[in-house]
Amino acid sequence: MRLPGISADIPRYAVISVLIVALLLGVAAFAAQVVFDQSRWISWLEQRATAASGRAVHIGALSVRALPQPGIDAYRVQVINPAGASSANLLQAEQISIQLALWPLLIGQVQLSALTLQGAHLELEQSNDGVANWGWPPSSTGAASLDLDQLTKIEVHQSSVRYRRPQFDSGTTHIAHLSVHSKPDWREVEVEALLRRESRELIASARLDELSVLPSGSITVSTGSARVTVEGRLPLQAVLTNAAVKLQVDAQRPTDLLAFMNLDAGPRTIAPFSLHADLREAGGKLSASAIDARLGNLQVTGTAQLDPGGSRPTVDAQLSAPRLDWEALLADAGRAPLPPKTAGELFRQQPFAWRALVAMQGLQGSVAVRIGSLKTRPGIELTDVSSKVLIDGDRLQFSEIKAGMLGGSASGDLKLSASGKQAHMALHLEDVSLQKWIAAIGGSAPLTGGLMQIDALVDAHGENMKAMAASLTGPVRVRLGPATISSRSSATAEALLTGLMPVLSARSADRIALECAAANLVFLDGRAAASPLLGVRSQASQLLTSGIVDLREETLDLSGRVRARSGIALGLATLTGDVRIAGPLVNPHVRLDPTGSSSALLRLGAAIATGGLSIVGTALWDGANPGTDPCRAPFSDVVRRAGHASP
């Protein structure tokens, strides 16, 4: 029987009402106990937090909230760092607010549903052996760990974080706001953050399907004009197994990102930079495919693989670039141009980047490199460049170098070692045009033709190019083919060639028909001394010199005798015979050798008395003795060298 006006649903509402009353009574009882004995509850919470985190936790004060959901506000909270850390606290916070799940609380279980930090500072550290102070150790007391599976909201306001490891300090990053929202069990996680470092802001966001070792989702970070995005299967810990992400970095002003990362770019202006690549882990190896990196006008594409196993990580890569202008690349990277060389200076004193090799000390492997066009710093352009770069710690070897060069070809091998700052080079140039060489480095000379062959096998060491030249040891052999030298002016760049004009040309000629030239320079600590050392032959005469080429002092001092070739009438200067080429390497001078002036007068008298027959006779004698050919004599077995056996 049902009374009039009384619903049949009353029993259900009655049950709900009873539960609500019981819940309120439970919350009230909980609050009353806290208010009644705060110190006991502080002690209880410190014990639970210490047991859950494995670190000592201290709370300065405590208050509770019953509505709209039960919660606890802890003030002046400290989480103590483990022994050996450089800072006392892992975390210190002005206030930590905890919201508790209601139903578990009624049956005596503590489950966090929300967490808010205000005015917190986090000190993260890693030791030399990679141990992190933020690792979550197992409970040291055997107490149950804190249940965080129902934690669905985290907010951080006006806080900061700092990360340090040996020889690195990130500085302090301020967290203006950080929010993390998820469903229970850390599913469908969303993160938003606004970070500040000095006057720069960084906005970060993340979307993850779950909070696990390898969730799927995306992370985006932007600051100024720079934006970094990774999406795919994201490794949130050091475990990379089966990770697969697409990486995109785009920065119109890369200094924005560098400045936020506390990397000082100084006043440099760096060209726009971008990097796109697909990263994947499989079988213990990390591979990068579809690499497309750009800095200014430079584009590098290719693939790479890193194997972290073994005693040292091993890298294997294939990279290519359509064009690389070294001077432009340095400018795009924000490097200031080199200052002009001082007068008379041939070799610069700016240090090499040996530190870059030292930074590679823990690596090994190889990189196959191909460059369509490579413009070197002096201005010489190489085409179709290929090389295999071998990495062995702080040693780098450019092996199997091949390239087109100034109408000819270049090949060789270059080894660099940061320990000792040493270099070893084997170089072969074939049919390289001297005319194009002079034009490429910005010079001018009255020369056409002149194909060169150069072979070098040298060692050197030093901080910079000047020191390298001063220590150069080994043979450098140079052969020059036919060329024509015309006298147009006496400009500095033409001084040597025009100085040879009266020596190697006919009496009234305004040009030299050069047939060949050769030099056999066997260096020892930057000096090459031999007799003979350098020879030149023209249609009119030939010159074979002895002396010294000194890279330490950047000078040369060569002397020799000119001989007329049959049927050629030579000028007075050549008739004297003894010629000296001496002075700075950048601007040597040709003049009559004063030490040979007396013999020159005798030869001049003989020529006048015989109507020139003495010169003709000398030329005929030279023709019958091929050992006197100046283009072959420097390579003969009878060459005398200072400090060297014959090559």
pLDDT tens, 378-403?
889 999 999 999 999 899 999 999 99
Place of tokens 């302090």: 172
Please enumerate in sequence order all residues whose Cβ is within 8 A of that of 225, keeping only pairs 6 or more positions apart, or say none.
251, 252, 253, 256
Give the pLDDT of residue 580. 87
Give the pLDDT of residue 604. 43
**Spans of the chain, pLDDT less than 70:** 1-37, 104-110, 136-147, 238, 262-267, 443-445, 487-510, 564-577, 592-628, 638, 642-647
Residues 60/39, Cβ–Cβ less than 8 Å: no
Give the pLDDT of residue 274. 96
Phi, psi of 586 (to 5 degrees): -75, -15
Among 397, 433, 403, 431, smallest CA distance to 416 is for 397
DSSP per residue, 122-184: EEEEB-TT--BTT--PPPSS-PPPPB-TT--EEEEEEEEEEEEETTEEEEEEEEEEEEEEEET
Residues 347/469, Cβ–Cβ less than 8 Å: yes
Residues 58/96, Cβ–Cβ less than 8 Å: no
**Please, what is the angle between helix 613-623 and helix 597-609, to 10°?**
110
DSSP per residue, 597-615: HHHHHHHHHHHHHTTTHHH
Residues 448/421, Cβ–Cβ less than 8 Å: no
Give the pLDDT of residue 620. 43
Give the pLDDT of residue 141. 47
Report in angstroms the alpha-carbon separations of 399 from 141, 375, 376, 386, 589.
Answer: 61, 19, 18, 9, 39
pLDDT tens, 551-600?
999 999 998 877 766 544 444 444 445 788 888 888 888 876 555 444 44
Place of tokens 């009255």: 446
Give the pLDDT of residue 502. 55
Give the pLDDT of residue 307. 93
Six token digits for residue 590:
């040709």
Question: Distance between CA 117 and CA 95 in Å, rounded?
Answer: 6
Question: Distance between CA 201 and CA 197 in Å, rounded?
Answer: 7
Give the pLDDT of residue 610. 39
Q: How many other CB atoms are found less than 10 A from the CB of residue 425?
A: 19
Give the pLDDT of residue 107. 65
DSSP per residue, 225-261: TEEEEEEEE---SS--TT-EEEEEEEESSHHHHHHHT
Q: Label residue 145 left, alpha or beta by phi (over 0 means left) and psi (-120 to 50 means alpha).
A: beta
Tell me, rounded to whole angstroms, the distance of Cα 224 from its chain centroid: 24
Helix or strand (DSSP H, E) at 38:
helix 38-53
Beta-ladder partners of 249? 228, 275
Give the pLDDT of residue 501. 52
What is the amino acid identity at position 340?
P
Question: Distance between CA 387 and CA 20 in Å, rounded?
Answer: 78
Beta-ladder partners of 373? 323, 383
What is the amino acid identity at position 128?
N
Give the pLDDT of residue 144. 45
Residues 19/25, Cβ–Cβ less than 8 Å: no
CA terminus-to-terminus distance, the chain: 126
Place of tokens 């400290």: 78
Q: Label residue 34 left, alpha or beta by phi (over 0 means left) and psi (-120 to 50 means alpha).
A: alpha
Question: Distance between CA 399 and CA 173 in Å, rounded?
Answer: 45
Residues 368/317, Cβ–Cβ less than 8 Å: yes
Place of tokens 């320079």: 521
Residues 492/484, Cβ–Cβ less than 8 Å: no
Beta-ladder partners of 485? 447, 512
pLDDT tens, 289-327?
999 999 999 999 999 999 988 788 999 999 999 999 999
Give the pLDDT of residue 30. 54
Question: Distance between CA 551 and CA 470 in Å, rounded?
Answer: 6
Question: Distance between CA 489 and CA 503 in Å, rounded?
Answer: 16
Give the pLDDT of residue 231. 96
Report in angstroms the alpha-carbon separations of 241 from 19, 130, 218, 276, 563.
Answer: 49, 20, 18, 21, 78
Question: Distance between CA 398 and CA 413 in Å, rounded?
Answer: 6
